[in-house]
């Protein structure tokens, strides 16, 4: 046993440790939201056996909770997280999954876990074995993988993604998360190899490999559905996001969705992109412009009683689209649009009016930057309401590697 008092440690803005009890409380809160929000949801089209790739944080974790506690689905979560090591805490995603596993066992829900490189053939092989024994056939596959790098399983080449514009410099304003200063920022355009590398990491190839592997092993149920998560955002962020290297990868993801949709149609199934709203994540905090945009967006949405966190978004995904007898319509490109509240004209107009007015001096008055900081630290289990951070907690929390 390794009980210790865990205080937040940071390198710059990023937390380099995590709090097990704070992470557990986060998971418990999301479970409570899902149970309440989905208690009266239609169940005829709800998933029974779900695979979530990228299941330990953010939208992937919330998806798994919604499927399991909203509909009783059996789930396999795949993720790549660091376990505890002596005095070093585990990553937040590890503690999130440990809390989920403990609660699932107590609630009689089947929840299997694979901690490994989802891009690798070995991880896919291990997942197929678990699915064959415990979850076959799979009727829902959610792809929520976020990684800065990928070693290609066929070529062995290591690809690293970049956050850059394409074709020309991009200048805007952002918040320096260390100094908390509002500053101008200019990003130079990506080279062709950087664009290709970003597509290799964040595009649709690995998603396709997962679906093809399941199909080859006859593990897909009739009517099987798969979704990958994406983001579009406002024109303000397009040069660095939609029209930048990430956007090029997201285009590839959409091409993959169309190809997979044709493939799964033979089983009566489908493949779609779900465009989700902007939320505070480790990834979004690293994108220039986005922290300032999020600090404004959250304040505007909350004032209009429209704010949603990942669990509320995923509950809406299931209740309005995946489990609904009459799903809400997709957009003209066939995408599910959960960013509809973020993109309301009155919301965007207010955000865009405030954006150029923000300075270092009025940052905390015009925006909810304090809320952005709190939400970011919450991701690691810190500043969570109800947790006594002066108390010692067990940090060597066990987690099963896979199901029996």
Residue 118 sits at φ, ψ, to 5 deg, of: -65, -20
Residue 129: count other Cβ atoms within 10 Å of its Cβ.
Answer: 14
The residues with which 88 forms a beta bridge, in sequence order, are 85
Give the separation between CA 59 and CA 56, rounded to whole angstroms: 9
- Cα distances (angstroms) measured from residue 138 to each of 90, 141, 261, 385: 30, 7, 16, 37
Give the separation between CA 155 and CA 146, rounded to whole angstroms: 21
Give the separation between CA 22 and CA 18, rounded to whole angstroms: 8
Token readout for 166 is 């394409």
Give the separation between CA 32 and CA 22, rounded to whole angstroms: 15
Give the separation between CA 92 and CA 280, rounded to whole angstroms: 15
Asked if 264 and 270 count as a contact pair (C-beta separation under 8 A), the reply is: yes
- Residue positions annotated with a catalytic role: 241
Give the separation between CA 318 and CA 39, rounded to whole angstroms: 12
Helix (H, G, I), strand (E, B) or coil at 262: helix
Residues 6+ apart with CB under 8 A from 337: 275, 330, 331, 343
Of the chain, the end-to-end C-alpha distance in Å amounts to 24
């Amino acid at each position: 046993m390794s009980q210790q008092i865990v205080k937040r440690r940071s390198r710059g803005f990023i937390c380099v440790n995590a709090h097990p009890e704070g992470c557990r409380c986060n998971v418990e809160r999301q479970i409570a939201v899902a149970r309440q929000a989905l208690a009266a949801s239609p169940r005829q089209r709800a998933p029974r056996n779900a695979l979530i790739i990228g299941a330990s944080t953010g939208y992937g974790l919330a998806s798994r909770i919604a499927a399991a506690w909203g509909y009783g689905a059996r789930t396999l979560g795949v993720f790549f997280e660091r376990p505890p090591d002596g005095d070093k805490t585990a990553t937040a995603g590890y503690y999130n999954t440990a809390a989920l596993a403990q609660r699932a066992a107590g609630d009689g829900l089947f929840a299997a876990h694979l901690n490994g490189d989802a891009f690798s053939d070995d991880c896919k092989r291990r997942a197929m074995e678990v699915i064959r024994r415990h979850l076959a056939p799979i009727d829902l596959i959610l792809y929520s993988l976020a990684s800065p790098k990928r070693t290609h399983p066929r070529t062995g080449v290591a690809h690293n993604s970049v956050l850059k514009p394409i074709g020309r410099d991009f200048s805007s304003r952002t918040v320096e998360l260390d100094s908390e200063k509002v500053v101008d920022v200019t990003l130079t355009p990506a080279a062709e190899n950087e664009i290709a590398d970003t597509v290799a990491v964040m595009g649709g190839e690995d998603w396709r490999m997962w679906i093809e592997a399941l199909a080859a092993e006859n593990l897909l149920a009739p009517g099987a559905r798969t979704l990958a998560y994406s983001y579009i955002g406002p024109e303000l962020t397009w040069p660095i996001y939609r029209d930048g290297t990430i956007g090029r990868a997201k285009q590839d993801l959409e091409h993959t969705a169309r190809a997979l949709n044709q493939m799964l149609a033979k089983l009566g199934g489908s493949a779609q992109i779900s465009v989700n709203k902007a939320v505070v994540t480790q990834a979004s905090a690293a994108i220039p412009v986005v922290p300032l945009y999020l600090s404004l967006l959250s304040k505007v949405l909350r004032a209009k009683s429209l704010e949603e966190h990942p669990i509320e978004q995923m509950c809406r995904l299931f209740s309005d689209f995946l489990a609904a007898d009459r799903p809400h319509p997709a957009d003209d490109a066939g995408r599910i649009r959960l960013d509809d509240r973020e993109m309301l004209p009155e919301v965007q107009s207010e955000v865009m009016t405030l954006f150029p007015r923000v300075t270092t001096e009025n940052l905390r008055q015009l925006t909810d930057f304090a809320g952005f900081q709190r939400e970011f630290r919450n991701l690691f289990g810190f500043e969570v309401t109800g947790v006594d951070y002066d108390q010692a907690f067990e940090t060597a929390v066990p987690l099963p590697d896979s199901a029996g």
